[in-house]
Amino acid sequence: MLRECKEGTLLDIIVTPNAKKTEIVGRDEWRNRLEVKVKAPPVEGKANKEIIKFFSKLFGDVEIVAGEKSSKKTILIRKPLKEVEEILNSLI
């Protein structure tokens, strides 16, 4: 779910669009991904924009680096792995 890379930390997520609110639901241990619900629909990049906005509030500089057209995405967080782990552990 979390991997260190030279630019920061990679976070694997699985997204459910059209939710009542945007939130982290928990960890999907079977898929080894963070489960995220997004209020926006998966149309014209709206869900991706909401994901970026949501994770930017938590971590600062982020971008989707894989899965732009999939429910399974990888996000690059430009922070050290340890710092990302601490933030996520406080949320889940």
Residue 87 corresponds to which tokens in the numbers above?
């933030």
What is the C-alpha separation between 19 and 59, in angstroms, rounded? 22
What was the pLDDT predicted at 68? Answer: 93
CATH homologous superfamily of 2-91 = YggU-like (3.30.1200.10)
C-beta separation of 50 from 36 below 8 A: no
* Residue 68, CA distances (Å) to 44, 62, 79, 88 in order: 11, 14, 21, 22
Q: How far is 92 from 88, CA to CA, in rounded Å?
A: 6
pLDDT in the model for residue 61: 96
* Model confidence pTM above 0.85: yes
Q: What is the mean pLDDT of residues 55-69?
A: 96
- Please state the domain extents for the chain: 2-91
Q: What is the pLDDT of residue 92?
A: 80
